A = this chain, B = another copy of it.
Amino acid sequence: MSGYSDSHSEQAVRPSGVPSGVTEVGEEGLAQQAWTLLFSLLHTHMRNFPALAAEFELSPVQAHVLRQLGEGALAMSTLANYLSCDASNVTGLVDRLEARGLVERRSSEQDRRVKMLVLTEAGAELRGRLMARMFEPPPFVTEMPEEDQVALRDIMRRALKTQ
């Protein structure tokens, strides 16, 4: 019953009736219609992320860590922030990756408290294959008409910029 923080917030429940499932789209406004559809497609797709990670004998979280560890070194605490998890969790996570020779702890020169994480040769190689696999577009994208792909890309570019 515990183990999950109670950040909480008194949530105003949408008065005009609550969507009761994934597929229905009511009269709740444009943004919500777009979001609900996007959400349901994405959700379907995300379901096989664990299987994708398993192709490389990684857990989903380990895959996520490798992904974050691309550009240079990262402090453990920084990684904890990226993962939105407790620092103590990262210790074990990195222990296991280090035991597999994918990652190295390296004490910082500037501040001897912090340990910087860097990919090993093997880690970088595995990460490359993992990224290539992750970025393969799923069928629901590849099977879109080309003009939809263009529109989607442009919309997402704009969204990323203003975000």
Contact = CB atoms under 8 A, between A and B. Distances in A.
Interface of A: 1, 3-9, 11, 13-14, 18-23, 28, 30-42, 44, 46-48, 50-51, 53-55, 57-59, 67, 70-71, 84, 100, 127-129, 131-146, 148-153, 155-160, 162-163
A13 B128 CA distance: 9
Contacts of A18: 128-129, 131-132
A143 B157 contact: no
Nearest to A40: B160
A34 B143 CA distance: 12
Given A34-B149, A37-B160, A84-B48, A53 B4 contact: yes
